[in-house]
Amino acid sequence: MPPSQLKQLKSSLRESGVVGPQKSKKQKRQNARTGANANNRVQREAALDAIRDRFNPFEIRTISRNKFDVTTRDGGSKSGPGSFRPGVTKSLGEERRRQTLLQEMDRKNKVGGIMDRRFGENDPSMTPEERAAERFARASQKKLRKDSMFNLEEEGDEGGFQLTHQGESLSFGDGDGVRDDFEEDVDADDMSDSEMSRKRKRVLDAGELGEDELQDEEEVPGRKKSKHEVMQEVIAKSKHYKAQRQMAKEDDDDLREELDKGLPDLFDMLRSVNPPPKPEPPKDDFAAMNPERAAFLQGESQGVTEREYDQRLRQLTFDQRSKPTDRTKTEEEKIEEEAQRLKALEEERIRRMRGEEISEDEAGGVEEEVVELSEDESIPDDAKEFGLQQTTGHTTSRPVGVDDEDDFIIDDLVETRSDASLSFDEEDEDMSDSAEESGEEEDDQEDELINGLTIPGDKSGEASAMLESAQDTADGLAYTYPCPSSHEKFLHIIKDVSYENLPTVIQRIRALHHPRLHSDNKAKLGRFAVILVQHVAYMAEQPDHPPFAILENILRHVHSLAKTHPENVSLAFRAQLREIATGRPLNLRPGDLIILTGIIAIFPTSDHFHAISTPAHLCLARYLGQGPVNTLSDLSTGTYAASLALQYQIVSKRYMPEFINYVLNALCILSPEEPASPLGSFPLRIPTHSLCLNPSKSLNARKLQFWDITGAEHQSEDLKLSLITTLTSLLNTASETWSSKSAYTEVFNQAQAVLHHIFSTLKKDNNNKKILKTTVSTIQSTLSTISTNLKTAHLTRRPLFLHDHKPLAIKTAIPKFEESFNPDKHYDPNRDRAELNRLKADYKREKKGAMRELRKDANFVAREQLREKREKDAEYERKYKRLVAEVQNEEGREANAYERAKRARQGKR
Amino acid sequence: MPAITNKSVSSKKRKSTKAGGVPSSKRRAVAENESAESMVRIQQLEEQIAESRKHYNNIATLISMLGEDGQGINPNLPVAVSLCRVFSRLIAGGNLAEPDRAAENEKIVVAWLKERCREYQRILVSIMRQSDASSQITALTLAMRLLNERATHIPGDDTQAWTSGLFRSIFEAVVEARDGQTLRSEFLEKFVKPHEDVTYYTFMQLAEYAATARSTEILETLVTLLSACDSVPSADHEFESFYSKASKQNKKLLSVNSHKKRAQDAWLAVLRNNLAQPLRKTLLRIMVHHIEPWFARPEFLMDFLTDSYNVGGATSLLALSGLFYLIQEKNLDYPQFYTKLYSLLDADLLHSKHRSRFLRLLNTFLASTHLPATLVASFIKRLSRLALNAPPTAIVAIVPFMYNLFKSHPTCTYMLHRVVPDKKQKELEAEGMDDPFDPNEPNPDRTGAIESSLWEIDTLQSHYHPNVASIARIISEQFTKMSYNVEDFLDYTYQGMLQAELGLEEKPLKKIPVVEYQIPKRIFTDRLLEEDGGVDTAPGSLVRALWDFS
């Protein structure tokens, strides 16, 4: 059984040395001298505190038991065997409530009141001592703060405070040792009480009385000064002193500054380092300076200079920073730059061809760059150069070919103008000649002129024949055209315009609505581009077969518009493709074929994915795969489509099954004899009536014409032979294009078989040998190409080696072991869920805490109310008692009086 | 009930004609306009017959009025209707039934009446065969009504009328009728479909009818008729809706099995006829859903299916599903099934419209993991060969299918990844390599496909269509996916693919398409050719070289 509380207390007091054997006097004295007493006292306090805590079972609470022995990384702030001080926390909370909640309670239902502006009055974090110290500091600061050294008012105030005795100021002579009273007071704080009192007494005794009396005695014999005079004197004197003191102080400051300046040198000397050479004083610069500025600096007065300086500085801050200007590039550099640009573009194209994803911004950046480049500078076209032949080219006279769109317009404008050898003035005259031109249109013309003025002066020496012919008839054309908003309107505009003049019209519309001329023009030209696309298809459908030069020119216009309005042009082409796909997928019209040809020129068909090329591919492939093969015009259309398909793939070399199928099928159809057995795994589609070639002497293979696609049944045998030749050469090209494909053998074995078949059937008639020479030689060369490629393919063929991947890790079902697992942490791999859980936990904790606080608040409020009520009751009780006592007193007196009277009466009796 | 309504209508009409002869139907109106008095006369004659037996001769008069031309091309319909009424009344009154002990003259009367009735029936049938659509339908209705009366009231005639008598001639007339499209649909809608006894006897007649070789058109008609009756009764089906009341007593008509037996016989009779190819394809197409459910013993179909399977081409493809049904359900043992299946993979397969159907079945046939790897490899290789000439829609379907095969037959992955030993490496360097696969070997176990590699699919990885290319690429990536759902890849078309690319209407593009950075000098013509030194290197040079644009 543990000893009793008292015994425990005693023993612990003894152990901690609070109580112990009596110390001898000597020891005490020694302690007092060494200051160990104070130290002891502190120790004793601490020991007592500890003992108190130990004996109060409620003061410190420890966690009674631990379920498991755990060590955690994060210090065990919570989970370790910590101790709490519930009493302390409780009292702290109580205190805080008293400071906040109680105040609120008191202020409740009360209006108005006095604001306590004393410093730190409502700041519970300050101890009263701190508060007092701070207040004092503030007060003294306020006193020390002076607005000006010549502020008489303040001085006057100060003077007002000056103690006087019999009209004399109570100052103590000029000595440095003389202090103002309050100064003395300040000092006195530092001194011990006894010291201060003694000193003051002495000063007061010695100085004050003695000297004053001396002065008085001196001035008595002379005229007695009036009080006003004395006051004046005193003020003057005090001002004088003050000024002197001020001066001395300034001198001291100067001296100190000088010394401070010397300090780094001193340090350097101490470190034995040579001081860096001092910068030359700036005044020496006057010679090298702009003489004007020097004169200005020297001549002008300081104030003016400074003002000037400020002004300039301000100007400079608002000035735009000047940018470094590029120096004019040499021709070689320009060429180099252009080559770099083209190379970058080509690399970009190759990346797209490989289907590598270009990040959006990057692509955009490149695009923008291209546009910028083409807009900003007129760079000569170096396509040829990029073909690695930097030999001739770059004659400064004229950019070779056309590259960017401004160039294009200008180029053509120049061409037409120069060919017509018309100056702009002459054109103006022409215009005024034509009666229908209005003044408004003249303005437009001027606009064009303005645009025309940007044309470089050099004139092109060459121009296409087409444009020449266009110029011949140009006289009948108007110079201004409105920008059409729909294809119908465009048709209306050009209804009297011959095909040859169409490029001129288009060019004029484009020049008149150049985006630089009006902000709306960009949108207008966008629409115009769409119309041009529609018009190309429309024109190709016309029965009178407009010349291809015109179509080409329009397509090139579309291309150059596509650079500035890619979206409009793309959408227009997509609309055309959609029309083909939904309206006539298996019945391609000449217009569709022209559109599909235009796509080659305008869009990169080599892209892995492209919003226009890909559907165009599909359209072609669909026609090739499913289109009719019943007539020669069908076959011609198909052959043209096959040529287009191969052209699409000539760069990217992607494989197109439909192409091979179609070409082989067509060859089988056209061959003089139908093959007895299938020559390959391509599906054989047989026309409704035979289209076999009938070899005869008069046959002549020619180059196919585009318009063969629209029913050219005459000269059919010639056409058949030409088709065979063309298809064969297509196979030749295809064989070259796809020679690196791993299944080349499988694809072109069929082709070889088909060609052999045709070759043998053609050769059967020996007499035709000479006449069919071209065809036979084409077939022969194709066959030889194919067989060479087949040999190569045979040699390079290796078993596939596709799965040379790094082996995949086997998925394990063993849970992942967490190093230093902490159950308080959540190891949720799902970020969102973890976040959510954390938020939930936070919310729960906060809610609990808030509820606890509220509950405590309510308790507190109830307690306070009870206390108030008790107080009120007690007050009432006191009052009541007092009143009762008073009454009793009075009544007692009356009773006494009565008693007395009674006794007296009795006594009388 | 058409017969009953008809009756009530006609009775009403009789009243109305009595009242004032106001016509209520167009047909009547026309007839009346033409010959109002003849109407009155018909009326009179009919009433006289009803009044007493001595006016029976009026029947002969009416019949002669009806069949004036003897062909029934332009029948006098009111006469037909009134005759029908007369005979119905007579049959209901038992005047056509021969009493056992009847007087001689009675017998003569009955025989005479029967003769007239037969004559009337003949005329009705000939109307159905020859006349225009509305008359045909009227005749059909009248004949069916007469049939009903006969089956109900003449004892001993109930089955006979259906099996051999009137119904047979009606059926034949319906099948062979000139321009009988509406007639047949009327027959189907009004009689066959709603009335189960009519269905039953139709099957019966059809089986007998189709037993002899018929022309293709007739067979097509029969198939249409048969396939229209597609509601196969379930085992516990209760037959309730009968046309003739007498049918309820017939036990055969109440049993599901006998119904099925009739239908099966009918179908078999059709299938055994000499079928033209298109019809055979039609039949094969409806085989699983329309024909096989009728068959209590589907093995009867075996001959037809194996014959069709051996035809080759699309017919084989179509026969496959029926055959599969038999193999699966009826344990049909088909020798050399996989060899035959392998032979179906020909050049046209991937272009055929039955491609999806076939691939679905192929997926089922090759699903077993117990198949030898050599066989599966042969199929894979053959398919990949075909894929080289296939449309993108087929490639899209084939490649995931192959992936699944590789996944279930890992041995076949040698076709994708084969480590060449160093010894052989040199040999390869020197001599190159032939494809060990023999495309002409019919036996899929001996093609040597497993020694080969899928260069074809490797080539298709550079297909012009980006989506196809990326699908082809799955076989060279790690096989992490369990399997692809082949069904999702099957039904693509060019149209669908194009629509996926182009959308249905104008929409702003998400990403502005790239435009070729260089404006070509020439597209069609030889513009500025001399500047390039006469060599055309601009894009589109191939087309320009081959084609003359002028």
- Rounded to an integer, what distance in angstroms lies between the CA atom of residue A631 and that of residue B382? 33
Question: What do you get for the CA distance between the two ends of chain A, in Å?
Answer: 82
Q: Can you read off the two tokens belonging to residue B363?
A: 């997926």
The domains of chain A are located at: 5-62, 404-565, 618-796, 877-909
Q: How far is CA B269 from CA B206, B208, B260, B299, B315, in A?
A: 8, 8, 14, 15, 20
For the stretch B288-325, pLDDT in tens is 777 777 777 777 777 788 888 877 777 888 888 888 87
For the stretch B169-226, pLDDT in tens is 777 777 777 677 777 777 777 777 777 777 777 777 777 777 777 777 777 777 777 7
Question: Which residues sit opposite A168 in a β-bridge?
Answer: A165
| Residue of A650, A704, A746 lying closest to B542 (CB–CB) | A650
Which residues, numbered 785 to 814 in chain A, qualify as contacts with chain B under a Cβ-Cβ cut-off of 8 Å? Answer: 791, 794-805, 808
Contact B456 A746 (CB under 8 A): yes
Q: Report DSSP state, residue A84.
A: E
pLDDT(B106) > 90 = no
A459 touches chain B (CB under 8 A): no
Question: Which residue in A759, A747, A578, A599 sits closest to A667, CA to CA?
Answer: A759
Question: Which residues sit opposite B463 in a β-bridge?
Answer: A655
Query: A–B: how many Cβ contacts below 8 A?
Result: 294
- Rounded to an integer, what distance in angstroms lies between the CA atom of residue B544 and that of residue B525? 8
For the stretch B431-477, pLDDT in tens is 888 888 988 888 988 888 888 889 999 999 999 988 888 899 888 88
Give the other-Cβ count within 10 Å of A177's Cβ.
9
- Rounded to an integer, what distance in angstroms lies between the CA atom of residue B401 and that of residue B395? 10
| Residue of A403, A555, A614 lying closest to B465 (CB–CB) | A614
Contact B511 A607 (CB under 8 A): no
Q: Can you read off the two tokens belonging to residue A9?
A: 């207390």
Contact B525 A552 (CB under 8 A): yes
| Residue of A402, A577, A746 lying closest to B385 (CB–CB) | A746
A706 touches chain B (CB under 8 A): yes
Contact B418 A799 (CB under 8 A): yes
- Shortest Cα distance from A84 to chain B (angstroms)? 57
Contact A618 B416 (CB under 8 A): no
**Quick one: pLDDT at residue A397?**
34
- Shortest Cα distance from A854 to chain B (angstroms)? 56
Q: How far is CA A317 from CA A309, A311, A321, A324, A893, in A?
A: 12, 10, 9, 18, 98
pLDDT(B422) > 90 = no
Query: How many residues are present in chain A?
Result: 909
For the four alpha carbons of A836, A837, A841 and A844, in that order, the dihedral sign comes to positive
- Mean of all residue pLDDT scores within chain A: 73
**Quick one: pLDDT at residue A276?**
54
* pLDDT-above-90 percentage for chain B: 5
**Quick one: pLDDT at residue B384?**
92
A170, burial (CB in 10 Å: exposed 0-12, middle 13-18, buried 19+): middle
**Quick one: pLDDT at residue A861?**
92
A761, A671 contact by CB (below 8 A): yes
| Residue of B501, B515, B519 lying closest to A566 (CB–CB) | B515
Give the chain A residue nearest B389 (alpha carbons). A657
The domains of chain B are located at: 1-170, 193-334, 373-502, 514-550
Question: Which residue in A655, A654, A653, A621 sits closest to A638, CA to CA?
Answer: A621
**Quick one: pLDDT at residue A765?**
61
- Shortest Cα distance from A497 to chain B (angstroms)? 21
ipTM above 0.90, yes or no: no
Secondary structure of residue A817 in the 3-state scheme: coil
Q: What is the mean pLDDT of each run of 10 residues along chain A (909 residues)?
A: 84 83 80 78 86 76 67 54 74 88 83 75 80 88 69 50 59 49 46 47 46 47 75 93 94 92 83 57 53 60 81 81 69 87 85 65 37 36 29 34 38 36 37 37 37 36 38 59 84 82 84 82 86 87 83 86 86 88 84 88 85 89 88 87 90 90 89 79 82 71 79 70 87 90 88 87 65 77 90 86 80 75 76 90 95 93 93 94 89 86 82
In sequence order, what are the residues at sequence separation of 6 or more whose Cβ sits closer than 8 angstroms to the Cβ of residue B353?
none
In sequence order, what are the residues at sequence separation of 6 or more whose Cβ sits closer than 8 angstroms to the Cβ of residue A239?
A155
For the stretch A223-236, pLDDT in tens is 677 888 999 999 99
Indicate which of B544, B546, B548, B549 best probes the interface with A, i.e. most A CBs within 10 Å of its own CB. B546
Indicate which of A800, A801, A804, A806 best probes the interface with B, i.e. most B CBs within 10 Å of its own CB. A800
A339 touches chain B (CB under 8 A): no
In sequence order, what are the residues at sequence separation of 6 or more whose Cβ sits closer than 8 angstroms to the Cβ of residue B106?
B99
pLDDT(B353) > 80 = yes
- Rounded to an integer, what distance in angstroms lies between the CA atom of residue B183 and that of residue B175? 9
Question: Which residue in B190, B189, B267 sits closest to B226, CA to CA?
Answer: B267
For the stretch A716-769, pLDDT in tens is 777 888 888 888 889 999 998 898 888 888 889 888 888 888 888 877 765 555
**Quick one: pLDDT at residue A896?**
85
**Quick one: pLDDT at residue A359?**
44
- Rounded to an integer, what distance in angstroms lies between the CA atom of residue B476 and that of residue A805? 9
The band of B84, judged by pLDDT with boundaries at 50, 70 and 90, is confident
The band of B98, judged by pLDDT with boundaries at 50, 70 and 90, is low
User: Average pLDDT of B60-84?
Assistant: 65
Q: How far is CA A126 from CA A129, A140, B27, B402, in A?
A: 8, 20, 117, 83
Question: Which residue in B117, B131, B109, B103 sits closest to B165, CA to CA?
Answer: B117
**Quick one: pLDDT at residue A170?**
56
